Amino acid sequence: MNIGFLGLGKLGLPVAVAIESCGHLVCGYDTSKDVQTIISSKKIPYKEELAQEYLEKSNIKFLTLQKIVKFSEIIFVSIQTPHNPQYEGITRIPEIRADFDYSYLKEGIAALSKKIEEYGKDKIVIIISTVLPGTIRRDIKPLLGGHTKLCYNPFFIAMGTTIKNFLDPEFVLLGVDDDQAAKKIESFYATIHQSPFFKTTIENAELIKVLYNSFVSMKLAFANTIMEICHKTPNSNVDDVTNALKMANKRIISDSYLEGGMGDGGGCHPRDNIALSYLARKLDLSYDWFENIMLQRENQTDWLADLIIKYAAGKPILILGKSFKAESNITTGSPSILLKNILIEKNHIVNMWDPLIDGAYPDCGDKPLLYFIGTKHAEFQSFPFTTNSIILDPWRYIQKRDGIKVIGIGDSLYE
């Protein structure tokens, strides 16, 4: 295929020569004159594994934007969305927070779309720049003409190993706004590697990209907390501890526990985090990570309580499920019981029922209720909900049915 690039910086150029190495013809444009010099001299001034080797073999062309539009079947947009240096982590976190700077991206997209409209034929444009969710719909789509077929395809790469990461990714993330464009992009990637595709909405893709990075930060912060504990605890070694945790590849290092729902419970997790919070204070750790976990759990449950109150609007409240997890009758540490107690704290009358714990279902008559699914028991999928009721489902597994409003919490497409 003929592939174009708008933006040939430290991300765009390595990816461009990687694509070229797979047999595609590649051209690009960048507002920086330094980039044109790098391409003509075939010398990479920054440290990037394989980039110098690939560039030396490259025939990539530096063209005008107009010529790129005419030449390319797919145009990748790799334009920076920088943050002010005070938000880059080299200073203490400012009290006031800010979004990324999208001015360069908007300017580039506007110029590209204008050239596409002048050309008068449809062109597939793939944005790979990092943005916060909602940015493309709010700031980018209004700049597009009818011939620009947009998708969002952020990469999961690490600077220094960009080419290796692009050619052999864990998966390809594609935010789809045009199905035909998506099919063309999939056929393109089939020439690069055999990694799996994950297609979703543009907003989901925007969110997945930044959360992927945040997940890495979370793991590092957790490991560094372990390091500090070991430093302050006799006969402890952080590498022994983390190496043992790495062996837990069925629950910890896996896809387990990575679904939205209620907080964790049982006889171990909440009590262990509270005990570790005590230890953090005893050892005078620089940060009490464990209190933070418990506060998130509590505050999220508080938010769920407010959501129940909002949708109940005077209807009686019934929480279905008391146990701390599905298909169990153990209530120790149950987040649904925490939810009930918070609702009572907010002066609301709440009933609970669990088929694995209680006797017969309480007689609520045929009046509409606000049901909240506190435990993901399978039998609630066929439960006889009363007509005109509302179901709040944090697990998103209750099927929609006539005469009942089912709201899957965490699914903003339910309305």
- What are the angstrom distances between the C-alpha of 234 and each of 231, 237, 285, 288, 407? 8, 9, 15, 20, 51
**Residue 343 · residue 291 · CB < 8 Å:** no
Give the per-residue pLDDT at 365. 81
Q: Which residues contact 285 (CB under 8 A, 6 or more apart)?
A: 225, 228, 229, 232
Give the per-residue pLDDT at 93. 81
Give the per-residue pLDDT at 413. 61
Give the per-residue pLDDT at 346. 97
**Residue 16 · residue 5 · CB < 8 Å:** yes
Give the per-residue pLDDT at 359. 84
Q: At what angle do helices 12-21 and 33-41 cross, to 10 degrees?
A: 40
Q: Rounded mean pLDDT of 18-41? A: 96
- What are the angstrom distances between the C-alpha of 54 and each of 112, 158, 178? 27, 18, 32
Return the residue matching tokens 């402890």: 236
Give the per-residue pLDDT at 247. 95
Q: Lowest-confidence range among 88-97, 230-239, 344-353?
A: 88-97
CA–CA–CA angle 376, 261, 345 (5° rounding):
95
pLDDT band at 333 (very low <50, low <70, confident <90, very high): very high
Q: Lowest-confidence range among 89-93, 122-126, 219-223, 252-256?
A: 89-93
Q: Is the dihedral of CA 376, 378, 383, 388 positive or negative?
A: positive
Give the per-residue pLDDT at 96. 86
Residue 414 pLDDT > 80, yes or no?
A: no
Give the per-residue pLDDT at 86. 84
Walk me through the domains of the chain, giving residue ranges and CATH numbers.
2-201 (3.40.50.720), 295-408 (3.40.50.720)
Q: Rounded mean pLDDT of 167-183? A: 96
Give residue-wise pLDDT tens across range 99-121: 999 999 999 999 999 999 999 99
Give the per-residue pLDDT at 140. 98
Residue 21 pLDDT > 80, yes or no?
A: yes
CA–CA–CA angle 176, 178, 183 (5° rounding):
80
Residue 258 pLDDT > 90, yes or no?
A: no
Give the per-residue pLDDT at 84. 83
Residue 243 pLDDT > 70, yes or no?
A: yes
Q: Rounded mean pLDDT of 335-344? A: 96
pTM for this prediction: 0.86
